[in-house]
């Protein structure tokens, strides 16, 4: 009889242990118990989230591809494969290796689908940089991303970083990868064909990462816990070889299926490949390449050592596959075969140490979790705007916002990333979205990551909708039609009803916005238990979205290009301050409701901007987000260091307080600049789509001037704004 403390230490409940006995009709072995613990963990089996994930739309405006480990869309004869995942818990413990192995893992999900990785993105969350450990985490995570990505030769082209007290005990590291393949050359992650060989390829197996998904990623941090052994160690040079060897092996036509040994390692790859293929599998552990002596069978099955994959190879073709991987100095060893009994059979020195039906492992229990609206939310949503004093110094407010860590330039971060390797990058980091050319075509891909978690904290449903809308808006401002989504859903302990209520509402919000905009959700990840003794993270449903640029010559960027151009505002400025950066940074409050979101208005504004950009009428386009209209205008002036252009805003009309109009974060707003001769054409487009249109000023000079009536309430030099914006984050990091 297995003692309760044994299976509980692996993350299994008493009920789950009883269920295992019922399935096996006997007591489980230690190896079987380990295998169930990882496959039934939230990180692999999604037992607490699976019901709600079914709400996310799988079809959209582009033909959709849904794979085992990643997804994508079809554009002409190409498959664009992409996915986002989290590596939060490992990064909180060992930031460099946690972030590095996150990059390695997500990229393996792309090339095991048969696609060549062409870009990475990231979405990062940390506590305030006034705390030394948060500075250590940020420096370590950035170092890990640049170390792995730069060595690998995959450019890191875009991302975002937010700072909030809720991430003090649990940072978030969400990473995204994009790959491209011919649509008829994709691979699947299954094992089929009785007698076909199962080959282990890549690096050796060690004890690093044991229990990472069941122990580390499926429980919150508790005081005094030491979890460093569960953090994996990555080697980007090995992964680079693995990319080339894998794509070469797939091109032979001898590979039936292939899967990364990511979370849950060999357990995941054996059980899931067998389950998807409706087959069985027999493996001998003594054949597994190891770099550590005396490893127990359960350790081998749970290890999450990096840069390893499992391949199902046509019988008789093993030597050809072995030759390819050996050429790249990688292991390629036959360790088993496909069977017809639907059982995953694990042997060690010929002795059976685990014998489980594949579907029993992969079909984790599904829990209908209780949920309840947090008691504090009703009071938190109350904001009496009349009690918020209007600023006396609007210049000071704008400079303060430009210097806040969330808004200030992230140049210190992205200058450490190689964003030009592979020579696909059209739009460099620092604009609304990154753009990558599709070699051999006139088209390009735009990509972004977005989520304002403060909105999701105040109103999970609407905040999640806004995350989708803003991502789409960023793509549109780059000249791309929003195409499809991958998500990374970061939340606290799902066993607490208030946390699960946040999750439920966020998923419903993402689903509703994607359905309205006709955007499919092709892949994603759920990360629960993001909390510690310091508290729970804000609900953070990060949206990774790609869009398609029909003509790569029509890409648009956010900064003003020329003097004496007309500045247009699409959308409406409302009297909204709830959840804004202004309310938090200037007034020290996180209160109110999130900004309103009218999806019909959002769609009208996006269609207007995209049509105008595609017709060549627009010089620049930039969406209004954190910091509101004033920050958006400032960023238009200062985003291009080589050619900063000022602006005079003297025709702004609004039905709101001045601070709400300038610093409030009303949604569905885009700032355009264009030549005088293009104005009437853009106005006609706006009228056709029903988008509010307003000429608010003109470009030119060396200052940003914003007038209300005849009074200049903001009058700042572009040089002064740039210095505050460019230096603030680095000075905090290096403090």
Ranges of each domain in the chain: 4-47+188-362, 50-186+409-550, 556-733
Specify the pLDDT at position 170: 96
Hey, what's the torsion of the CAs at 204, 39, 224, 147, to 10 degrees?
Answer: 40
Best CA proximity match to 606, nearest among 429, 433, 461: 433
CATH of domain 556-733: 3.90.650.10
Question: Tens digits of per-residue pLDDT, 43-102?
Answer: 889 999 999 999 999 999 999 999 989 999 999 999 999 999 999 999 999 999 999 999
Question: Tens digits of per-residue pLDDT, 255-272?
Answer: 999 999 977 899 999 999
Residues labelled as active-site residues: 43, 87
Three-state secondary structure call for residue 696:
strand
Judged against a pLDDT cut of 80, whether residue 211 lies above it is answered with no
pLDDT band at residue 654 under the 50/70/90 scheme = confident
CATH of domain 50-186+409-550: 3.30.1330.10
Burial class, 434, CB count within 10 angstroms (exposed 0-12 / middle 13-18 / buried 19+): buried
Question: Tens digits of per-residue pLDDT, 522-543?
Answer: 999 999 999 999 999 999 999 9
Three-state secondary structure call for residue 269:
helix
Specify the pLDDT at position 222: 55
Specify the pLDDT at position 264: 83
Dihedral sign, Cα of residue 582, residue 585, residue 587, residue 589: positive
Number of Cβ within a 10 Å radius of residue 193: 17
What distance in Å separates the CA atoms of residue 503 and residue 348, rounded to the nearest whole number?
42
**Average confidence (pLDDT) over 108-128:** 96
Q: Which helix (H) or strand (E) holds 497?
A: helix 497-517
Three-state secondary structure call for residue 261:
coil
For the whole model, what pTM was predicted?
0.95
List strands edge to edge, sheet with 78-86. Answer: 64-66, 71-75, 78-86, 172-182, 116-126, 156-163
Specify the pLDDT at position 227: 46
Is there a common fold for 4-47+188-362 and 50-186+409-550? no
Specify the pLDDT at position 217: 47
Sort residue 517 into left (φ over 0), alpha (ψ -120 to 50) or beta: alpha
Judged against a pLDDT cut of 90, whether residue 429 lies above it is answered with no
3-state secondary structure 123-136: EEEECCCCCHHHHH
Judged against a pLDDT cut of 80, whether residue 166 lies above it is answered with yes
Specify the pLDDT at position 43: 84
Lowest mean pLDDT among 215-224, 292-301, 362-371, 437-446: 215-224
What distance in Å separates the CA atoms of residue 381 and residue 238, rounded to the nearest whole number?
51
Question: Tens digits of per-residue pLDDT, 318-341?
Answer: 999 999 999 999 999 999 999 999
Asked if residues 393 and 719 have their Cβ atoms less than 8 Å apart, the reply is no
What distance in Å separates the CA atoms of residue 519 and residue 517, rounded to the nearest whole number?
6
Best CA proximity match to 700, nearest among 645, 651, 655: 645
Q: Residues of the chain with pLDDT > 70: what percent?
A: 97
Best CA proximity match to 595, nearest among 660, 502, 503: 660
Specify the pLDDT at position 451: 97
**Average confidence (pLDDT) over 694-717:** 94
Question: Tens digits of per-residue pLDDT, 465-484?
Answer: 999 999 999 999 999 999 99
Q: Which residues of 613-632 are buried (b: 16+ CB within 10 A; e: fewer)?
A: bbeebbbbbbbbbbbbbbbb
Dihedral sign, Cα of residue 95, residue 96, residue 98, residue 102: positive
pLDDT band at residue 423 under the 50/70/90 scheme = confident
What distance in Å separates the CA atoms of residue 507 and residue 621, rounded to the nearest whole number?
30
Specify the pLDDT at position 225: 47
Number of Cβ within a 10 Å radius of residue 719: 13
Residue 218 has φ and ψ, to the nearest 5°, of -120, 20
Compute CA distances 59 → 69, 91, 475, 484, 511, whole Å.
18, 34, 19, 9, 12
Specify the pLDDT at position 618: 97
Sort residue 668 into left (φ over 0), alpha (ψ -120 to 50) or beta: left
Specify the pLDDT at position 233: 79
Of the candidate CATH numbers 3.40.50.150, 3.90.650.10, 3.40.50.720, 3.40.50.300, the domain formed by 4-47+188-362 belongs to 3.90.650.10
Compute CA distances 508 → 55, 494, 537, whole Å.
7, 16, 19
Q: What is the largest CA-CA distance in the chain?
A: 88
Question: Tens digits of per-residue pLDDT, 593-651?
Answer: 999 999 999 999 999 999 999 999 999 999 999 999 999 999 999 999 999 999 999 99
Compute CA distances 36 → 47, 99, 229, 362, whole Å.
13, 27, 20, 9
If one compares 126 and 215, the residue with the highest pLDDT of the two is 126
């Amino acid at each position: 009889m297995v003692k309760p403390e044994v299976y509980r230490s692996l993350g299994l409940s008493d009920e789950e242990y009883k269920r295992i006995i019922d399935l096996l009709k006997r007591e489980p072995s230690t190896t079987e118990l380990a295998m169930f613990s990882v496959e039934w963990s939230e990180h692999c089996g999604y037992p607490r989230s699976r019901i709600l994930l079914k709400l996310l739309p799988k079809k959209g405006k582009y033909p959709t591809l849904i794979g085992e480990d990643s997804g994508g869309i079809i554009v002409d004869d190409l498959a664009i494969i992409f996915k986002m995942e989290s590596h939060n818990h490992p990064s909180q413990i060992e930031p460099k290796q946690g972030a590095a192995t996150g990059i390695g893992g997500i990229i393996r999900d792309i090339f095991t689908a048969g696609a060549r990785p062409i870009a990475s993105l990231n979405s990062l969350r940390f506590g305030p940089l006034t705390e030394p450990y948060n500075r250590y985490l940020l420096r370590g995570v950035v170092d890990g991303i640049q170390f792995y990505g730069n060595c690998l030769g995959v450019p890191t082209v875009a991302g975002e970083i937010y700072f909030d007290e809720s991430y003090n005990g649990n940072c978030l590291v969400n990473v995204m990868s994009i790959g491209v393949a011919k649509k008829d050359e994709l691979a699947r992650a299954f094992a089929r064909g009785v007698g076909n060989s199962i080959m282990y390829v890549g690096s050796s197996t060690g004890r690093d990462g044991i229990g990472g998904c069941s122990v580390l990623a499926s429980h919150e941090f508790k005081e005094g816990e030491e979890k460093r052994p569960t953090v994996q160690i990555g080697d980007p040079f090995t992964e680079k070889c693995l990319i080339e060897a894998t794509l070469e092996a797939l091109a032979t036509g001898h590979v039936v299926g292939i899967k990364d040994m990511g979370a849950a390692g060999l357990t995941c790859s054996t059980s899931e490949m067998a389950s998807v293929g409706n087959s069985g599998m027999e493996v001998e552990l003594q054949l597994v390449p190891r770099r550590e002596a005396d490893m127990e069978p359960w350790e081998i099955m749970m290890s999450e050592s990096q840069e390893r994959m499992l391949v199902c190879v046509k019988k008789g073709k093993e030597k050809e596959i072995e030759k390819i991987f050996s050429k790249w100095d990688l292991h390629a060893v036959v360790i088993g075969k496909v069977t017809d009994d639907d059982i995953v059979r694990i042997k060690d020195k010929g002795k059976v140490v685990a014998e489980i039906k594949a579907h029993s492992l992969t079909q984790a229990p599904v829990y209908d979790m209780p949920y309840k609206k947090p008691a504090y939310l009703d009071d938190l949503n109350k904001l009496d705007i009349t009690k918020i004093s209007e600023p006396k110094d609007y210049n000071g407010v704008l400079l303060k916002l430009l210097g806040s860590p969330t808004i200030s330039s992230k140049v210190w971060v992205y200058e450490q990333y190689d964003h030009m390797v592979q020579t696909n990058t059209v739009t460099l980091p620092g604009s609304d979205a990154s753009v990558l050319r599709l070699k051999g075509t006139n088209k390009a891909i735009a990509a972004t990551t977005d989520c304002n978690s403060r909105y999701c904290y105040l109103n999970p449903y609407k905040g999640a909708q806004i995350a989708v809308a803003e991502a789409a808006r960023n793509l549109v401002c780059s000249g791309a039609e929003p195409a499809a989504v991958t998500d990374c859903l970061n939340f606290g302990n799902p066993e607490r009803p208030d946390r699960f209520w946040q999750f439920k509402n966020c998923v419903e919000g993402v689903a509703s916005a994607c359905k309205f905009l006709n955007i499919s959700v092709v892949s994603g990840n759920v990360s629960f238990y993001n909390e510690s003794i310091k508290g729970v993270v804000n609900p953070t449903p990060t949206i990774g979205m790609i869009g398609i640029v029909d003509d790569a010559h029509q890409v648009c960027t956010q900064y003003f290009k020329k003097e004496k151009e007309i500045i247009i505002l699409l959308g409406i400025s409302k009297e909204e301050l709830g959840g804004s950066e202004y309310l938090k940074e200037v007034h020290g409050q996180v209160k109110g409701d999130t900004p309103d979101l009218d999806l019909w208005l959002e769609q009208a504004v996006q269609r207007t901007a995209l049509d105008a950009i595609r017709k060549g009428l627009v010089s620049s386009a930039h969406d209004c987000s954190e910091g509101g209209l004033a920050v958006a205008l400032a960023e238009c002036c200062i985003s291009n260091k080589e050619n900063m252009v000022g602006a005079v805003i003297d025709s702004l009309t609004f039905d709101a307080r001045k601070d709400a109009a300038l610093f409030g974060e009303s949604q569905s707003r885009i700032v355009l600049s264009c030549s005088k001769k293009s104005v009437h054409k853009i106005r006609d487009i706006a009228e056709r789509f029903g988008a509010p249109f307003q000429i608010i000023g003109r470009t030119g000079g060396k200052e940003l001037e914003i007038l209300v009536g005849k009074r200049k309430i903001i009058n700042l030099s572009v040089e002064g704004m740039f210095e505050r914006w460019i230096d603030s984050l680095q000075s905090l990091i290096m403090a």
